[in-house]
């Protein structure tokens, strides 16, 4: 879905799940399997939230924003084990927030997960593409906020219909 104007880039929805310690294969499975099960469940919604979770093991390099956004997730992960979901997906608050809350609870209720990060980038429609193509990790960081909250505070925020664009949420269990 290419854009017709000379500003902005695709939307990005990014999730990083960080391990509690090092994961064995069965630990990783215990985190991924419930998500995969929901993804493969039929829903009447033509573009359900869980289909926006695209698992990545390497930089997607699909557009100029992908590389710095992916590098940000890798930097946050550090040496810890983790799972990255990343893609060109837009969030529809009236359709997606309930499933997003379900996803966060599903992930953080797993004892093998320490925390998670979520970031939504709306595409920076006010910035020229030529400028966006020059962005690196540090430039991206300067254009987003960070917010740390526990799971219950994040779920209350979602319940109130609030999931902010250009905010990197660090969601911890307690």
> pLDDT for 144-157, tens place per residue?
999 999 999 999 99
Listed range (9-13, 14-18, 20-24, 25-29) with the worst mean pLDDT: 9-13
Question: What residues does 12 pair with on adjacent strands?
Answer: 121
Give pLDDT tens digits for 78-107: 999 999 999 888 898 888 999 999 999 999
Q: How confident is the model at residue 18 (pLDDT cuts 50, 70, 90)?
A: very high
Query: Is the pLDDT confidence value at 6 over 80?
Result: no
Average pLDDT, the chain: 91
Burial class for 80, CB neighbours closer than 10 Å (0-12, 13-18, 19+): middle
Percent pLDDT > 70 in the chain is 97
What's the angle, vertex CA 158, arms to CA 174 and CA 162, rounded to 5?
125
| Cα–Cα distances in angstroms (integers) from residue 74 to residues 7, 11, 145, in the given order | 27, 19, 17
Yes or no: say if 55 and 82 are a contact pair by the CB < 8 Å rule: no
Query: Is the pLDDT confidence value at 5 over 90?
Result: no
The helix, strand and coil proportions of the chain, stated in percent and rounded to the nearest 5, come to 40, 20, 40
What is the enclosing helix (H) or strand (E) of 124?
none
Residue 22 phi, psi (nearest 5): -100, 140
Secondary structure of residue 28 in the 3-state scheme = helix
Yes or no: say if 94 and 127 are a contact pair by the CB < 8 Å rule: no
Query: Is the pLDDT confidence value at 161 over 80?
Result: yes
* Cα R_g (the chain), whole angstroms: 16
Nearest Cα residue to 3 out of 93, 126, 102? 126
């Amino acid at each position: 879905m290419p854009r017709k104007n000379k500003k902005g880039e695709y939307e990005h929805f990014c999730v990083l799940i960080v391990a509690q310690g090092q994961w064995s294969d069965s630990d990783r499975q215990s985190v991924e399997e419930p998500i995969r099960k929901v993804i493969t469940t039929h829903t009447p919604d033509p573009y359900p939230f869980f289909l926006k979770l695209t698992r990545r093991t390497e930089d997607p390099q699909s557009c100029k924003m992908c590389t710095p956004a992916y590098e940000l997730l890798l930097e946050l992960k550090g040496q810890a084990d983790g799972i990255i979901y990343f893609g060109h997906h837009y969030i529809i608050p009236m359709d997606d927030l309930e499933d997003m809350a379900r996803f966060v609870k599903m992930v953080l209720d797993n004892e093998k997960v320490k925390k998670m990060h979520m970031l939504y980038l709306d595409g920076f429609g006010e910035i020229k593409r030529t400028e966006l193509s020059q962005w690196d990790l540090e430039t991206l960081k300067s254009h987003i906020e960070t917010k740390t909250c526990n799971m219950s505070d994040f779920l209350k925020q979602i319940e109130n219909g609030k999931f902010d664009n250009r905010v990197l949420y660090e969601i911890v269990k307690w």
